[in-house]
Amino acid sequence: MQLLRMQKNKSGQQNKHIQQQVQLTTACVAQLVDAGFTVLVIQIENSKPAVWIEHSMKCSVLKGVMVMRRHGERGPEMVMAAVLEGCQVQWVVRGH
């Protein structure tokens, strides 16, 4: 039991940043859902969680900036991003 307690304490400290990112992501997703956005993907990998949403006219209120221009399956695309609750909210604008 002593070994399990020691391992538990150690892993708790190691995972603190993940727990904090989960809390940020939860707050971000709640705001997006309340505002009527469709959340597609949540990524908690780096220092700032990423939340991918479906592009819609509502995205303009996020005041995003273009972070990437690429050529997708359906032609040119722009990946837009904005910060909300410590998360990077991203969406794809097709045809640009």
Give how far the C-alpha of residue 29 lies from the chain's centroid of Cα atoms, to the nearest Å: 8
- Per-residue pLDDT tens listing for the chain (96 residues): 565 565 565 656 778 888 899 999 999 999 999 999 999 999 998 779 999 999 999 999 999 999 999 998 889 999 999 999 999 999 999 986
DSSP letter assigned to residue 57: G
Bridge pairing between strands 39-43 and 75-84 = unpaired
Q: Determine the pLDDT at residue 9.
A: 59
For the chain, which residues make up each domain, given as ranges?
Answer: 2-94
In total, the chain counts a number of residues equal to: 96
CA 47, 39, 25 angle in degrees (round to 5)? 30
Q: Of 75, 74, 68, 73, whose CA–CA distance to 91 is shortest?
A: 68
